[in-house]
């Protein structure tokens, strides 16, 4: 044979040599990501993988530490099931930048509260939202979500003021990955390094029977959530009551108002604080378009009421605030602004109303006064959900001539999905907690939090219904 050239000989020697250490580390990093996504379907291959991980575990070497993490992650994936989508950029960077062996939960993310604080919570590649919430509730002093009604929402990667409820069985890493994918598609395939998913912890299901056992933290967060409704005009109250509630929230948020006239620059600072409180806690509709003189009058009124609360601690103010706001019959309801397209004679087509969803009923409220128009108990609801581009309710009729009547409301697709799932979850909770409802509710769909499709219909199977509703 012809003698090999020096270049070929050098290449062969290089191939025979062991690769550098960082190549092995990269291989283990890849495996660390893969074991959280899926497990081998072949039992023999799974057995070999477990054996390989066990043989390589060593807490003194970098590769051995990755092997130890992979073993833990594999067991978690076997327990919780495989993932739906690829890893997110956040998950990949977390694995690459630090060895996950040193942390029982290799990833962490802040959860934002409505009072402006946040709680950083750890998770791994297999953590479900239910598990994540359990940890969050323990760290924040809240009851479990089934009793408190508090759960996780995410912001929308595209729409600024849109939030999405996250299903409890979803895996957090899948949620983050879907969010990043939607953001990247919006940006024509480019990553926006400055933006990450924002998780929000707030109340979704409100049960009157569980109010007595509320924790102090739950009451505080509920105050801020009700305040959001007040500021946005989703709560009926007079200007005087609005000022009283704003003063209570100022005392809760800023603390006591000290008016020290002896300090030269203190006056301007206090005026600014009162203006901030007015902006954060007073209904926008009552100050929109107001003159400078009217705003000054509101500032003075708020300052006086705030000063009158001197000596009241946070717990007292929270109790007073909730006692006052809970007098409204629809406290705790989730409100949806909708346009009536087809319905009863009580509401003309084209009229904009509030759909108020509570633990046992759906109510129609007048837009401005928020006075009751009609209430439909869940026992009367035969069918509900998306119907083409509208939200549909089919209500059992009291008339012997007509078996049912259909109501159609114009809503955006994300809101149709939101109200449909909310009603379904309230109905499920009602059937679980009491025997007052006969029949069962089927909810087989697994909706994508970022894609609301036109039709989201859910049906109650009731033994009394003998004929199908012709929609």
355 bridge partner residues? 336, 364
Please state which CATH class domain 237-326 belongs to.
mainly alpha
Rounded to the nearest 10°, the torsion over CA 218, 219, 223, 226 is 70
| Two structure tokens written together for 31 | 């495996």
What's the pLDDT band for 453 if we cut at 50, 70, 90? very low
To the nearest whole percent, how much of the chain has pLDDT over 90?
70
| Domain-wise residue ranges, the chain | 21-82, 107-205, 237-326, 334-435
3-state SS class at 254:
helix
What's the pLDDT band for 6 if we cut at 50, 70, 90? low
The fold for domain 334-435 equals PH-domain like (2.30.29)
Q: Which CATH architecture has domain 107-205?
A: Roll (3.10)
| Two structure tokens written together for 432 | 């679980």
Residue 362 backbone phi and psi in degrees, to 5: -120, 125
pLDDT (0 to 100) of residue 267: 58
| Two structure tokens written together for 464 | 């009394």
Identify the residue whose tokens are 């060593």: 58
Least confident of 156-165, 185-194, 460-469: 460-469
386 bridge partner residues? 391
| pTM metric for this prediction | 0.84
> Per-residue pLDDT for 55 more than 90?
yes
């Amino acid at each position: 044979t012809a003698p090999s050239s020096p270049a070929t000989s050098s290449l062969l020697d290089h191939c025979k040599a062991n690769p550098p250490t960082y190549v092995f580390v990269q291989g283990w990093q890849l495996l660390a990501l893969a074991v959280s996504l899926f497990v081998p379907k072949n039992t023999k291959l799974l057995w070999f993988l477990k054996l390989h991980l066990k043989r390589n575990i060593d807490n003194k070497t970098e590769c051995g530490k990755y092997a130890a993490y992979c073993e833990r992650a594999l067991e978690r994936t076997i327990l919780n099931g495989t993932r739906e989508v690829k890893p997110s950029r956040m998950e990949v960077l977390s694995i690459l930048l630090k060895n996950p062996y040193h942390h029982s939960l290799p990833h962490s993310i802040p959860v934002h509260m409505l009072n402006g604080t946040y709680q950083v919570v750890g998770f791994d590649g297999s953590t479900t939202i239910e598990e994540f919430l359990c940890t969050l509730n323990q760290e924040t002093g809240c009851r479990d979500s089934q009793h408190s009604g508090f759960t996780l929402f995410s912001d929308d990667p595209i729409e600024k003021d849109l939030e999405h409820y996250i299903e409890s069985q979803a895996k957090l890493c899948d949620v983050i990955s879907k969010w990043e994918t939607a953001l990247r598609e919006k940006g024509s395939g480019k990553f926006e390094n400055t933006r990450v998913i924002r998780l929000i912890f707030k109340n979704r299901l409100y049960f009157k029977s569980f109010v007595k056992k509320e924790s102090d933290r739950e009451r505080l967060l509920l105050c801020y959530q009700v305040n959001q409704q007040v500021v946005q005009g989703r709560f009926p109250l007079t200007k005087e009551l609005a000022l009283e509630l704003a003063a209570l929230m100022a005392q809760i948020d800023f603390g006591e108002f000290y008016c020290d006239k002896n300090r030269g620059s203190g006056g301007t600072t206090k005026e600014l604080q009162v203006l901030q409180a007015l902006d954060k806690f007073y209904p926008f509709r009552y100050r929109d378009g107001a003159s400078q003189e009217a705003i000054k009058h509101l500032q003075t009124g708020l300052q006086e009421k705030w000063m009158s609360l001197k000596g009241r601690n946070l717990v007292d103010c929270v109790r007073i605030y909730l006692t006052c706001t809970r007098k409204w019959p629809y406290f705790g309801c989730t409100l949806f602004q909708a346009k009536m397209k087809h319905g009863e004679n009580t509401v003309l087509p084209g009229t904009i109303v509030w759909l108020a969803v509570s633990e046992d009923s759906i109510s129609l409220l007048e837009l401005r006064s928020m006075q009751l128009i009609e209430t439909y108990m869940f026992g009367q609801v035969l069918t509900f959900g998306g119907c083409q581009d509208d939200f549909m309710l089919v209500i059992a009729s009291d008339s012997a001539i007509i078996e049912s009547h259909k109501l159609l409301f114009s809503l955006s697709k994300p809101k149709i999905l939101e109200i449909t799932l909310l009603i379904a979850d309230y109905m499920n909770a009602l059937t679980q907690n009491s025997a007052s409802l006969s029949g069962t509710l089927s909810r087989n769909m697994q909706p994508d939090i970022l894609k609301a499709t036109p039709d989201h219909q859910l049906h109650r199977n009731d033994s009394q219904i003998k004929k199908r509703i012709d929609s």
